[in-house]
Structure 1
Amino acid sequence: MLFALADLRVELQLLLDHVTLTALGFAIRAHPLAVLVLLLQPSLWRHYRR
């Protein structure tokens, strides 16, 4: 999760400054693996918590 956030660091800063659909779309298209890891993180925590 930390690597995914580090990969998205610049895009997240831009999104915090100016939230636009274009910036969000670019972040998803430019870093699909990092976005997928962040989206699946709650599921991974539940699975490996057992």
Structure 2
Amino acid sequence: MKIKNKYIIVILLLIITATIIPNYWQLGMTGMVGFFLAYLTKGIRVKKLR
């Protein structure tokens, strides 16, 4: 995936989360933390494969 596409996905996630958080705080935080952890572990997995 190109770097530009990654930034677009992250920005969209932040916008969607910002709209969800006032109504569903726990759901929004769970989604953000889950995405962040998945994003970090994907980077770790890619480095281990090389």
Whether TM-score is above 0.5 comes out as no
Choose 1 or 2 for highest CA Rg: 2
TM-score range, shorter chain: 0.3 to 0.5
What is the TM-score when the length of structure 2 is the normalising length? 0.34
What is the TM-score when the length of structure 1 is the normalising length? 0.34
